Amino acid sequence: MDLSAFFKDEFAEHHDVARRAEAALAHDFAGLVHACTKAIRGGGKLMFFGNGGSAADAQHLATELTIRYKRNRAAIAALALSTDTSALTAAGNDLGFEQIFARQIEALGKSGDVALGISTSGKSPNVIAAFKRARSMGLVTAGLGGKGGGDMGPLVDHLLAVPSTTVARIQEMHILLGQMLCGALEVELGLASE
């Protein structure tokens, strides 16, 4: 293996996807920021969820908001639905894996909250079920997906579909977009000063 060529090729693909995402998602990103700002100002919260690496991203982003992103500031109400192992295993065992996020949304969500699902394929059955439950309860729905958005499109109010089919590149853009969301919320909510 030519590691130098591999290294350069990975960066070239990353840069290409980043440029295409930048060109395609500015308007959708602004809509998501406004929806999240409105939810927080209205006393609501952001609920992040996803599977595997997307579960890790959900946890990462919720923590950036509840604790801090760039500056010390007031907490922003956010949680990751992938972190409570008792809830995940009980729901998976008793209701089926497809319901692990939907059940938590049913228990914790309220109208005006934002349910933000992360799925590189946009086809994860438990993410789709969560969006359906969130919609039925009057929550704002938002998704971070890959090229085309998969099955999320009709179920979300705000979709940031990264223009790529390469899972690694989609995940890289998801964490970038998620951290940009955290930074934008600190500014929009007037919490960015030290």
* Average confidence (pLDDT) per 10 residues, the chain, 194 residues: 95 98 98 98 98 98 95 93 96 97 98 97 98 98 97 97 98 98 94 62
- 88, part of any domain: yes
d(Cα 164, Cα 33) in Å, to the nearest integer?
22
Whether 169 is covered by a domain: the verdict is: yes
CATH classification of the domain holding 23: 3.40.50.10490
The pLDDT score that the predictor gives to residue 192 is: 64
* pLDDT of res. 71: 84
Residue 47: name the closest of 127, 125, 121 by CA.
127
CB neighbours of residue 8 within 10 Å: 11
pLDDT of residue 46: 98
Question: pLDDT at position 72, please?
Answer: 87
Residue 194 lies in a domain: no
Burial of 85 from C-beta contacts in 10 A (0-12 / 13-18 / 19+): exposed
Give the separation between CA 154 and CA 131, rounded to whole angstroms.
10
Tell me, yes or no, whether 193 lies in a domain: no
Domain limits for position 12: 3-188
- Domain-located, residue 108: yes
Residue 133 in domain: yes
Largest CA distance in the chain: 54
Global pTM exceeds 0.85: yes
Count of structural domains, the chain: 1
Query: Does residue 68 sit within a domain?
Result: yes
